[in-house]
Structures are given as C-alpha cells and as structure tokens.
C-alpha cells in the first residue's frame, strides 16, 4: 500500500539501496567460502534476518499483528519452496562468478509470467509470451558454456552444477512468487515477510546432520552480516513499494548486474565472458519489456475497467 503522497524518487532510491544491500549479502556468502554446507548458509541467512525484520515491525507497532495469520499452511509451503530455492541459489553463488549467478537469476521473473498463466490462470498474450521466449534464449546463452563442462568433467564440474542449481533456484523462486500472490489476497505483507524468515530458519535446521561444520569466527561473522543484510534489504524493498508503483521501481533491479560485475572483478577476479554479456543484455531487455507491458495494461485497466479487452 502506497503512502498518501507518492514519492517516486524516494522509492527508486530505496530500491537501489536494497539492491546494494542484497549484493553485500551475496558478497559475504561468497567470501565465506564454498566449503560451508548450503543448509548452514540458509539458516544463518534466515535466522539473522529476523533481527532487523522484527525490530522494524516493533518500531512500527506491527509486530504482534504480523504474527496473526489465517493461512499458516500457506506460509509453511511458501517457506519450504523458498528455502529450497535459496539453497540452490547459494550453491550456485559460491561456485559461479558473481555477475553470472546474478544474470542467471534474472530468469525468475520470466518464469513467474509462465507459472502465473498456468497456475493462476492470469491472461498472458502474444507480447509477453514473445518477451519470455526471447528472455529464456538469453538465459540459455549465459548457461550453455557452463553446461558443456559436463562433457569434459562429468557431474563433478562444480561450475556446471552451479549453473543448473541457479536455474533451479530461479524456477523454485518463481513458484514461490506464485504462492506469494495467493497469500497477499488474505495476508498482510509484514506477515508474509516474517513467516518466511521464521519458517526458512526452521526448515534449514533439518539439514543440521548433513554437512554442517564448526565455523571460524571469520566465517561466522560473514554469515551473520549476510543474514542481517538480507533482512535490511527486504525491509528497504518493501518500503520502496510504499512510495512508487512496481513498474517504476522494478527496472532498477537490473542495476545489480552492473554493481555485481564491479564487485566480482575487484574481490573475486571474476571477468565476464562474451556469452554472459550478450545473454544478460537479452534477458534484461525482455524483462524491461514485460515490466512496461504490465504498466501499460495497468493504465488501460484503470482508464477503461469495463470496456477493456484482456491483452498480454
């Protein structure tokens, strides 16, 4: 729900800040190393995120209300799907160059369009289907060089597995977004955010017997900071939509690839490949087309709610 006086510039600033803080989170996780079990990473990411989230809700006087829900099973399902998506995503993050992991993750909004049409029966017509198809071709261009590693090193190729894991994360993330769209029909935004971190923390603990290891102080601090940053970034993202329409803010998600490329080069010596650059440009173009198509349809629905014919 927007403020009474929308402020698009403030919304954009909050969105970009959330992107930066999410990148700090990803950088901390990648810097912690690839020897830490993904279940252990997801636990710290989810548990420490509760600190800023609960503090924020308490300051706004919404903490008690946020715990009230009429659909606990919906939250648990969304939490389970979300935590599995997060686990795959973190595996890909630690085994791929940072900008490449970010770029493959851009498949999620494309897949969300498909899943919304299939499972929620949302009307999607030629324009958006075409954009989705073009965007997925871009994703294929990015991941194809990694997948060819299977023919050279078999299933021991960690970068190839990382690319597949990131694709799986995007697919499950799109599924989680469909579940969120169902939840928002009856649940508050703060309730959805709170129960995701709670359920994700609990589900992550199930992986405790499978590869968790004692952490060095350095790794512990990196994962704790990652979790806190994840919570803060979620708050900033939520706040950004209070000040401007989604179609205004959403394109600024793609600033993450620019910042991620710089961080990857400076901290991890990640140099983008031509496949990654070309594929990313295609995916971004398709994503922005879908965003503005949604914006145009929204304007048409508001201007002529009775006479409008569904388009897509």
In a domain, 311, yes or no: no
Poorest-confidence range of 32-41, 91-100, 153-162, 233-242? 153-162
Rounded to whole angstroms, how far apart are CA atoms 157 and 100?
16
On whether the CB atoms of residues 272 and 104 are closer than 8 A, the answer is: no
Number of domains within the chain: 1
298: pLDDT confidence band, cut at 50, 70 and 90?
Answer: low
Please indicate, yes or no, if residue 1 is contained in any of the structural domains: no
| Confidence at 5, pLDDT banded by 50, 70, 90 | low
The reply to whether 185 falls in a domain is yes
The pTM (predicted TM-score) of the whole model is 0.86
- H/E segment holding residue 12: helix 8-32
pLDDT reported for residue 154: 54
Vertex 150 angle, CA 32 and 211, to 5° = 35
Nearest-angstrom CA–CA distance, 14 and 98: 23
pLDDT tens digits for range 23-71: 999 999 999 988 899 999 999 999 999 999 999 999 999 999 999 999 9
CB crowding 38-56: b at 16 or more within 10 Å, else e: bbbbbbbbbbbbbebbbeb
DSSP assignment, residue 125?
-
What range does the domain containing 79 cover?
A: 8-303
Q: 302 or 145: which carries more pLDDT confidence? A: 145
310 assigned to some structural domain = no
103 within some domain: yes
In a domain, 308, yes or no: no
Residue 141 domain-assigned? Answer: yes
What is the helix (H) or strand (E) element at residue 173, kind and residue range?
helix 158-183
Query: Does the pLDDT of residue 1 top 50, yes or no?
Result: no
Q: What is the rounded CA–CA span in Å between residue 81 and residue 143?
A: 23
Place of tokens 């989705």: 132
């Amino acid at each position: 729900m927007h403020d009474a006086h929308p402020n698009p510039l403030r919304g954009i600033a909050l969105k970009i800040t959330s992107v930066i803080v999410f990148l700090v989170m990803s950088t901390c996780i990648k810097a912690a190393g690839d020897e830490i079990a993904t279940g252990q990473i997801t636990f710290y990411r989810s548990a420490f995120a509760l600190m800023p989230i609960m503090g924020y809700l308490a300051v706004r006087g919404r903490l008690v209300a946020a715990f009230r829900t009429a659909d606990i099973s919906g939250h648990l399902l969304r939490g389970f799907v979300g935590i599995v998506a997060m686990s795959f995503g973190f595996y890909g993050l630690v085994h791929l160059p940072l900008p490449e992991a970010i770029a493959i993750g851009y498949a999620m909004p494309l897949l969300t369009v498909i899943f919304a049409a299939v499972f929620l029966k949302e009307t999607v017509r030629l324009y958006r289907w075409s954009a989705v198809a073009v965007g997925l071709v871009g994703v294929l261009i990015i991941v194809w060089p990694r997948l060819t590693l299977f023919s050279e090193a078999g299933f021991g190729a960690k970068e190839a597995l990382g690319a597949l894991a990131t694709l799986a994360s995007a697919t499950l993330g799109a599924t989680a977004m469909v579940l969120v769209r169902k939840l928002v029909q009856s649940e508050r935004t703060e309730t959805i955010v709170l129960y995701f971190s709670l359920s994700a923390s609990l589900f992550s603990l199930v992986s405790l017997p499978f590869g968790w290891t004692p952490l060095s102080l350095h790794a512990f601090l990196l994962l704790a900071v990652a979790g806190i940053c994840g919570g803060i970034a979620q708050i900033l993202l939520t706040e950004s939509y209070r000040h401007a329409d989604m179609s205004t803010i959403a394109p600024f998600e793609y600033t993450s690839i620019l910042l991620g490329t710089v961080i990857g080069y400076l901290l991890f010596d990640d140099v983008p490949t031509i496949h990654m650059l070309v594929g990313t440009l295609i995916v971004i173009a398709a994503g922005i087309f879908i965003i503005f198509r949604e914006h145009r349809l929204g304007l048409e629905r508001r201007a002529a709610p009775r006479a409008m014919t569904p388009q897509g």
